[in-house]
Structure 1
Amino acid sequence: MDRLLSSPAIVQGLRKVEDRIRRLSGSSALPGINAGARHVVDAGGKRLRPALTLAAALALGKSPDRRVITAAACVELIHAGSLVHDDLMDRATERRGARTLNAELGDGKALVIGDFMLARAGLAAITAVSRPVAEVLAATVVELAEGQYLETSDLFNPARTRENALRSITGKTAALFRAGCLVAAICAHASDEDKARLATYGERFGVIFQVLDDLLDLTADGPQLGKPAGHDLRQGVYSLPVLMSGVDLGDLLGRDMGEAEVAEALRRLRASRMADDTLAYCHGLAAEALAALPVIHDPELAGLLYGLPTAYIQHVTDLTRLTTTS
Structure 2
Amino acid sequence: MTATVHTLQANRAPSLEPMMALTTSGMNAVNAVILDRMQSKVALIPELAGHLIAGGGKRMRPMLTLASAALFDYPGTRHHKLAAAVEFIHTATLLHDDVVDGSGLRRGRRTANIIWGNPSSVLVGDFLFSRAFELMVEDGSLKVLKILSSASAIIAEGEVDQLTAQRRIDTDEDHYLQIIAAKTAALFAAACRIAPVVAEAGEEAEDALDTYGRNLGIAFQLVDDAIDYSSDSATMGKGVGDDFRDGKMTLPVILAYARGTDGDRDFWRSAISGDRVADEDLARAIDLVRSTGALADTLERARIYARRAVDSLGSFPAGKAKSAMIEAAEFAVARAY
Shift of 1:158: 0.8
Q: Which amino acid aligns with 1:262?
A: L
Alignment partner, residue 321 of structure 1? none
> In the alignment, which residue of structure 2 is the partner of 1:299?
319
Q: Which residue of 1 aligns with 2:274?
A: 255
8 Å Cα contact 1:173/1:206 also seen in 2: yes
Give the counterpart of 1:142 among 141, 153, 171: 153
For the 8 Å contact 2:113–2:120, the answer to whether it is kept is yes
What does the per-residue CA deviation read over 1:115-170, in whole Å, with 9 as the maximum and x for residues that have no partner?
11011101111113533212211111101110011110111111101111011101
Question: Mean Cα displacement is larger for which, 131-140 or 156-165?
Answer: 131-140
TM alignment of 1:1-326, pairs within 5 A: 1-7=15-21, 9-26=22-39, 28-63=40-75, 65-128=76-139, 130-245=141-256, 246-248=258-260, 249-252=264-267, 253=271, 254-259=273-278, 260-293=280-313, 295-316=315-336, 318=337
Deviations 1:184-237 (A, max 9, x none): 111111111110110011000000000000000011123322334321111010
Q: Which amino acid aligns with 2:32?
A: D
Distance 1:104 1:280 in 2: 38
Look up the match of 2:8.
Answer: none
1:51, distance to aligned residue in structure 2 (A):
0.8
Provide the C-alpha distance between the structure 2 equivalents of 1:225 and 1:237, rounded to a whole number of angstroms. Answer: 16
Does the aligned pair in 1 maintain the 2:244–2:277 contact within 8 Å? no
The RMSD of aligned alpha carbons is 1.7
In 1, Cα distance between equivalents of 2:187 and 2:35: 20
Deviation at 1:294, TM superposition (A): 5.6
The Cα of 1:270 is off from its aligned counterpart by 1.8
Q: Deviations over 1:80-117 (max 9, x none)?
A: 01000001001123222322222222211211100110
Report if aligned partners of 2:253, 2:294 keep a CA contact under 8 Å in 1: yes
Q: Cα gap change, 1:230/1:168 in structure 2, threshold over 3 Å: closer, same or farther?
A: same
Does the Cα contact within 8 Å between 2:185 and 2:213 map onto a contact in 1?
Answer: yes
Change (3 A) 1:34 1:314: closer
Q: Which has the higher helix share?
A: 1
Instruction: Return the structure number with greater relative CO, CA threshold 8 A, min gap 6.
Output: 2
> Contact 1:70–1:129 at 8 Å: present in 2 too?
no
- Is the 1:151–1:168 Cα contact (8 Å) retained in structure 2? yes
Kindly provide the amino acid, as one letter, of the partner of residue 165 in structure 1.
Y
Write the distance in 1 (CA, Å) between the matches of 2:238 and 2:120.
Answer: 25
Give the gaps of 5 or more residues in structure 2.
1-14
**3-state SS of the aligned residue for 1:156?**
coil
Q: Residue 16 of structure 2 contacts residue 327 of structure 2 at CA under 8 Å; is this kept in 1?
A: no
Report what 1:323 is aligned to.
none
After superposition, the Cα gap between the structure-2 partners of 1:295 and 1:97, relative to the gap in structure 1 and judged at 3 Å, is same
Distance 1:200 1:123 in 2: 27
Unaligned runs of 5+ in 1: 319-326
Other structure's SS at 1:219 match: coil
* Greater CA drift, 243-252 or 116-125: 243-252
CA distance in 2, matches of 1:129, 1:34: 26
CA contact (8 A) 2:215 2:309 kept: yes
CA 4–147 in structure 1, closer or farther in 2 if over 3 Å, else same: farther
What fraction of aligned residue pairs are identical, expressed as a percent? 30
TM-score, normalised by the number of residues in structure 1: 0.91
Q: Which amino acid aligns with 1:49?
A: R
CA distance in 2, matches of 1:197, 1:255: 42
* Aligned residues of 1:67 and 1:129 also touching (Cα < 8 A): no
